[in-house]
Structure 1
């Protein structure tokens, strides 16, 4: 058993978290992760209304009696979703773990903490992690440049970012970006993290609610088969390399603006990829960790394998490099 500050604080058996992924963080996957002893996250904004989120939480509870959380991504928008209503549903539903991301979690902390909810905040830089810690969040998820989605604009990979953050963060911290197996879990612990967050790896499991073709595309892909879009707009996103993402990169590299690619990057097209299984139908999110993914296991098999292999790495390989005479 791998016991860390994260497992103790957030009440889960294994220091592994399933990231809150748009269109992917649904009841079937979340419950499977929870049943495995890791921490599953429902993605709140995948649900079109707060009432739908309440129903998804209830549906998840029908599938597991283990702890799980809800991801609430807070982004600036001309017409933002009703974040306060989503927050109230989370509280009223008895959820005790929330992952916030995208913006300052401060306005939401008093209500969450008053309801006994622990808040894990996702950051892409040490400075933002320190600010979140100062605000009073209960844990940090630090995202390296390898991650799917939005890696920030500093381009710092996990090998440096995790260690740098560990020097400044005293609350539980998990590492995100580039993690897919036991080797990454052990490396994260060595760098000072208390666990890992995985998105792409959990996408590629039997219980993941995306089309089999997309899972097979992830298995077939390598670590270089992603694109970074929106670089010129200072809103970098890592997505799968396909004809659409290459076109977006070309347009923006030639001076185009968001309006010139709006239709190409529409979220509805990305959802179609997951539902219909055509990897060329739109923009869809995946990380460089796909280069480490070679199968489509059940969630339970994946987590059990990772934990067993991590324990073996720690107990055999790492201990084995010590010189018993001089140790």
Structure 2
């Protein structure tokens, strides 16, 4: 078993977190991940109202007695959701862990920690991670450029972002973006992370609430089959390659603005993709990790497999490297 600062802080068995994905993070999936020893996450804003979130939390509590969390993504919009009400429901429901994301979480972290709730803040840069640490976050999830959804604007991949974060941060952190198997977990640990956060991998599980046809498309896709949209608006978003994402790119390349693509990128269209199984109904998020996904197992099997494979890899590497000599590669090299 791999024990890290993250597993110890959050009371879980394996350093594996299920990402708080919009329209995907529901009770069945979160409970299955937590029951297997990982950290499952319900997505608050997937629920239409705070009362619906309370019901979803209660459902998850009926399915697992292990720790799980709730993601609260702080969006900036003209008509923002009632974040304070969602937060109140989380506190009153006795949820032990919250994952915040998006805009400045200071007020929410203060309220949550005052009620004994541990907070993980999702970041896309070292600077943001340091800010989260300074305002009281208990841990950070650091998103590399490979991730689905919003990777930030710095375009820093995990191979650089993870050790750069490890060099500066003192609180535990998990690495996110591009992780789908035990090799990724072993690599993240070697780079200084305390675990990994996986989203796309958990989309392709039996408990995932998305349509089976979409799961099959992810299995069949490669790491080449995503698109980065809204780059010109400095709101980059990694989504599946389809006619809608191609149209968004074309409109913006021709000088269009957000108002010209607003209907194309509407969240309600992405929800329909996952519910109805038609990949051309809208834009929908998926990460480069889809190129590493070849099956649709249970979420529990994913957790156990990733943990076991990572432990095996770490042990194998340690056995190959003796304290007396280190031989790397063959031939003269380049």
TM-score by length of 1: 0.98
Provide the rounded CA distance (Å) in 2 between the counterparts of 1:180 and 1:25: 17
Provide the rounded CA distance (Å) in 2 between the counterparts of 1:324 and 1:27: 47
Superposed CA deviations along residues 186-229 of structure 1, whole A, max 9, x for unmatched, are 00000100000000000000100010000000000000100000
Provide the rounded CA distance (Å) in 2 between the counterparts of 1:321 and 1:244: 48
In structure 1, the partner of 2:223 is: 223
Please report how far the alpha carbon of residue 78 of structure 1 lies from its aligned counterpart in structure 2 after TM superposition: 1.1
Superposed CA deviations along residues 250-287 of structure 1, whole A, max 9, x for unmatched, are 11111111111111111111111001111111100000
Provide the rounded CA distance (Å) in 2 between the counterparts of 1:323 and 1:174: 29
Give structure 2 stretches of 5+ with no counterpart: 327-334
In structure 2, the partner of 1:244 is: 244
Provide the rounded CA distance (Å) in 1 between the counterparts of 2:162 and 2:325: 30
User: What SS does structure 2 have at the residue aligned with 1:167?
Assistant: helix
Q: Is residue 52 of structure 2 the alignment partner of residue 62 of structure 1?
A: no
In structure 2, the partner of 1:310 is: 310
Please report how far the alpha carbon of residue 324 of structure 1 lies from its aligned counterpart in structure 2 after TM superposition: 5.2
RMSD between aligned alpha carbons?
Answer: 0.9
Q: What does 1:166-245 align with in structure 2 at a 5 Å threshold?
A: 166-245=166-245
Provide the rounded CA distance (Å) in 2 between the counterparts of 1:113 and 1:95: 12
In structure 2, the partner of 1:319 is: 318
User: What SS does structure 1 have at the residue aligned with 2:164?
Assistant: helix
Please report how far the alpha carbon of residue 303 of structure 1 lies from its aligned counterpart in structure 2 after TM superposition: 1.1
The runs of 4+ residues in structure 1 deviating greater than 4 Å are none
Superposed CA deviations along residues 49-100 of structure 1, whole A, max 9, x for unmatched, are 1111000000111111111000000011111111011111000000010000
Provide the rounded CA distance (Å) in 2 between the counterparts of 1:182 and 1:165: 21
Q: How many residues align?
A: 326
In structure 2, the partner of 1:151 is: 151
User: What SS does structure 2 have at the residue aligned with 1:247?
Assistant: helix
Provide the rounded CA distance (Å) in 2 between the counterparts of 1:205 and 1:265: 25
Q: What does 1:72-221 align with in structure 2 at a 5 Å threshold?
A: 72-221=72-221
TM-score by length of 2: 0.96
Provide the rounded CA distance (Å) in 1 between the counterparts of 2:43 and 2:322: 47
